[in-house]
Amino acid sequence: MKKIAVFTSGGDAPGMNACLRAVVRTAKSMGVQEVFGIRRGYAGMIAGDFVELNERSVSGIIQNGGTILQSARSKEFRTKEGRKEAFKNLDGYDIEGVVAIGGDGTFTGAKVFMNEHKIPFIGVPGTIDNDLFGTDMTIGYDTALNTAMEAIDKIKDTADAHDRLFFVEVMGRDAGFIAIMTGIATGAEAVLVPETETDIDKLAATLEKNHRRKKTSSIVIVAEGDDEGGAFDIARKVKERFDGYEVRVTVLGHIQRGGRPTCADRVLASRLGIAAVEQLLAGKSNLMVGMINNKIETTSFEKAIKHHQEISPKLLDIVKLLS
């Protein structure tokens, strides 16, 4: 291959820039003549928003959060007409292969596109949710965990000072990995995740028992996709059943997406970026590269999209045991 493209899509994740850097430098070192970055994901592919990248243009970005190519969601790409326009632009630049950095929505789009137009895609898992099947860790997850943990530690300080109950909402619309891991790391009294049904009466009883034990504060971590609603809804329901604490709610929101990527995310992103280019130049397609037991593995887009990584029930038991 002489010309390839790379883009970031969906929610941004710390480490995406490190992956872009690895893709560009690996491709150039392996004889690819031109590497094009596509700005704003599939939206930019349709608009023809392409920029040539080289070793110099990706210098000094490994430590930066976000993505220099930006990211966007594209309703137009969901239409056959939109995908036809995207193919026209790729073909106009003589693109022979594409590296797609993103989550399951990104890979779903790539799979549909490849069924209609014969340009090979290799995917790299970039999402803070860590819910993709076929990799132990996704790019951005470790940084998001550490960001959330540091914020919750600070909240716990003020909770202790004022004898308060804090409900802290973290990201995780469909998966509770951030919630469960930060819950263990910060000593939360309870963690509520989309994967399990929340019992408000049971939660209130647990908090009341802790209050009788003279605990000076309590932290409940809520994944945004919990079945009982977000942190504000759950806090209100608990308050109706148990009024022993002064209740406060904090929504961490998009601070979990930002910030400098951790060492673990930079290394993971670099290894996966290299692997994606190697797979593409070896003639492979319709695959996501991932890291399993510290080894590079590949998973078909179909399998990565259809299956989701599941939370171990043992992790939920740890929260209960240590609370």
Catalytic residues: 129
The residue among 58, 15, 18, 66 whose CA lies nearest residue 37 is 58
Tell me the HSE value of 132 on the side-chain side, using a 13 A CA sphere.
35
> Residue 102 forms beta bridges with which residues?
125
**Dist CA 86 CA 50 (whole Å):** 11
The helix or strand, by DSSP H or E, that contains position 222, with its residue range, turns out to be strand 218-223
86 phi and psi, to 5 degrees? -60, -45
Residue type, 102: G
The residue among 111, 88, 123, 93 whose CA lies nearest residue 8 is 123
80 phi and psi, to 5 degrees? -65, -35
The helix or strand, by DSSP H or E, that contains position 144, with its residue range, turns out to be helix 141-162
**Dist CA 40 CA 24 (whole Å):** 17
Handedness of CA 145, 146, 151, 156 (dihedral sign): positive
